[in-house]
Amino acid sequence: MIDITIKGDKITIFMEGVLDDIKRINLPAQDLKGKKIHLLADQIDSWNTPFVAELYGILKNTPKENITFESLPNGMERLLKLAFQTGNTPHTNTNKRLGFLERVGEKGIIFCRSVKKGCIFIHQCLISWKRQLMGKAVYRSKDFWLVLADCGPKAILIVALISFMVGLILAFVGALQLKTFGAQIYVASLVTIGMTRIMGAIMTGIIMAGRTGASYAASIGTMQVNEELDALQTMGISKTDFLVLPRMNALLLSMPILILLSDIMGILGGCFVCVLFWDIPLAEYVKYAINSFDMTNFLVGVFHGMVFGLVIAFCGCYFGVNCGRNADSVGTATTKAVVYGIVWMIVMTGLITLACEMVGI
C-alpha cells in the first residue's frame, strides 16, 4: 500500500506490503516543488528496482536535503542515496531542437559539403592518375595483384552464375511474348543483343558493387578506425596513390574480362532455355546468336563496364576514406558505397545511352 499525506510543505509517502513494478505512486513530480519529502516505510514484505526507479523518477528534481528516510529497508535506502549522490540536478540535453527551415538548411549545408568533398576526392584521384602516368605514384605492386585477384578470378563464379540466370530469365520471358507471333527463334537475337549491349555490364556492375565496392569501403574504413590512414598521411604518402589507385586499376582491368564472361554465360543461359523448353535446335540458336552479335554493341557494353568499374572503385574508396572512427561508421560506409555505387551506375548508363543515341551508335 502507498499512502500520500500532504501537510503544508511536508509530504509523507508511506509504504507498506509488497512494493513492485505494478505499484504506482500517484504524485505528479511538479507538485513536489519546494516541498519536504518524508519517505516512511513499515512492514515491507518485498520491493524491487523498478519500484525504486519510479520513486527516483518522481523525486529526482527535489534537492536531496529535502528528502528524509524513515524505516526504509536497508537496501532500498542505500539505493536511493546512491542515486542522489551526484546531486539531484540530472544533466539536461542542451541541444536546441531545430525548426523545419533550420533542418532543411542544415541538410543543404551537409549536401554542399559532401559535394565539395566529392569534388576534392575526384581532383586528388586525377592527380594520382597523373602521377601514375609519370611513374611517380607510390603504391606497392603486391597490393595491386592482391586486389586484382580479389576482384577478378575470385568473382568469376558468381558473375558466371548470375549472368547465366539472367540469360535464362531473359530468354524465358522473351520467348513467352515472341511465341504469340510464332517468332521464338528471335529469342537468340534478343538475348545476344540484350546481354552484349547492356545487361552483361549492368549485372556485372551490380555484382561488383555489392561484392567489391562494399569490400573496398569496409577495408579502407577499418583502416580509418585503426588510424592506419593517419599513419599514411603523416608518412607523407598520398591515400589516393596508395589505396585508391591499385583498386581502380584492378577494377578497370577486370571489368572488361568479367563482362565478356557475363555475355557468354548469358547467351548460354538463353540457349539452355531455348533448346530445353522451346524446342529450338541448338544449331539454329547459335546461328541466330552469331548473326545478331554486333562488335559495336559488345564494345559499348565493355565501355559501360569500365565506367562502372571506375564508379564502384570511386564510391567504395570515397566512403572508406571518409568513414568515421567507430565500427558503426564502417557499416554505414559500406552500405553507402553499395547504394551510391549502384545509383551512380544507373545515372552513368543513362548518360552513356544518351551519348550513344546522339552519336548514332
Q: For residue 333, give every residue at least 6 positions away whose Cβ sits within 8 Å of its Cβ, in sequence order, or none.
A: 217, 218, 221, 319, 320, 322, 323, 324
> Considering the rule CB under 8 A, would residue 141 count as an interface residue with other proteins?
no
Tell me which residue has cell 548460354.
268
Is 41:55 a contact under the CB 8 Å cutoff? Answer: no
Least distance CB 231 / other proteins (angstroms): 4
> Considering the rule CB under 8 A, would residue 223 count as an interface residue with other proteins?
yes
Number of residues this chain uses to bind other proteins (CB under 8 A): 14
Question: Contact with other proteins (CB under 8 A): which of 46, 86, 226, 291?
Answer: 226
Question: Contact with other proteins (CB under 8 A): which of 25, 138, 339, 346?
Answer: 138
Least distance CB 232 / other proteins (angstroms): 8
Which range binds other proteins by CB under 8 A, 1-9, 227-235, 247-255, 302-310? 227-235
> Considering the rule CB under 8 A, would residue 236 count as an interface residue with other proteins?
yes
Q: Which three cell numbers stand for residue 136?
A: 611517380
Burial 138-150 (b: 16+ CB within 10 A, else e): ebeeeebeebbeb
Is 245:139 a contact under the CB 8 Å cutoff? Answer: yes
DSSP 48: -
Question: Contact with other proteins (CB under 8 A): which of 146, 149, 161, 290?
Answer: 146
Which range binds other proteins by CB under 8 A, 94-102, 117-125, 208-216, 224-232? 224-232
Question: Contact with other proteins (CB under 8 A): which of 68, 233, 291, 335?
Answer: 233
> Considering the rule CB under 8 A, would residue 106 count as an interface residue with other proteins?
no
Rounded Cα gap, residues 3 and 23, in angstroms: 12
> Considering the rule CB under 8 A, would residue 231 count as an interface residue with other proteins?
yes
**Among residues 150 and 263, whose Cβ is nearest to other proteins?**
150
Q: What is the DSSP string of 99-129?
A: -HHHHHHHHHHHHHHHHHHHHHHHHHHHHHH
The letter for the amino acid at 335 is T
**Among residues 182 and 236, whose Cβ is nearest to other proteins?**
236
Give the DSSP H or E segment for 36: strand 36-47
**Among residues 31 and 102, whose Cβ is nearest to other proteins?**
102
| 3-state secondary structure labels for all residues of 218-245 | HHHHHHHHCCHHHHHHHCCCCHHHHHHH
> Considering the rule CB under 8 A, would residue 86 count as an interface residue with other proteins?
no
- Chain contacts with other proteins (rule: CB under 8 A): 138, 143, 146, 223, 226-228, 230-231, 233-237
